[in-house]
Amino acid sequence: MKNMYGYAHRLRRDGSIESICLGCYLTIATARTEEGLAPCERSHICDDDHLAQQREKWKQRLESPFDVRG
Ligand SMILES: [Zn+2]
């Protein structure tokens, strides 16, 4: 399965760049240049288990009693 979501690149304080998968929101690579991220981005496959866990967390957060108004 190929990643169809793409990646967000974020510049870190130390000048390196990290690549975050927009499918599973994992930081998949850190490199000094964007070219250095490319091999990891090409080989990354979203972790379905992690994705399912994240979805469950968001769902629980939405249903959390702490969010009740009043
Ligand atoms: Zn992913």
Q: pLDDT tens, 21-32? A: 998 889 999 999
* pLDDT confidence tier of residue 7, bands split at 50, 70 and 90: very high
In a domain, 2, yes or no: no
CA 13 – ligand 1 centroid, Å:
23
CA 42 – ligand 1 centroid, Å:
11
Q: Please give the model's pTM, rounded to 2 decimal places.
A: 0.69
In a domain, 1, yes or no: no
In a domain, 39, yes or no: yes
| Number of structural domains the chain divides into | 1
Range of the domain at 19: 7-67
CA 52 – ligand 1 centroid, Å:
12
| CB within 8 Å of 50: residues ≥ 6 apart | 24, 26
How many Å apart are CA 64 and CA 43, to the nearest integer?
36
How do residues 38-61 score in pLDDT, each as one tens digit?
999 999 998 888 788 888 888 888
CA 35 – ligand 1 centroid, Å:
18
Pull the structure tokens for residue 19: 């690549």
- Residues flanking ion ligand 1, Cβ below 5 Å: 21, 23-24, 46
In a domain, 12, yes or no: yes
Q: Quote the distance between the C-alpha of residue 56 and its chain's center.
A: 16
| pLDDT (0 to 100) of residue 61 | 85
| pLDDT (0 to 100) of residue 9 | 97
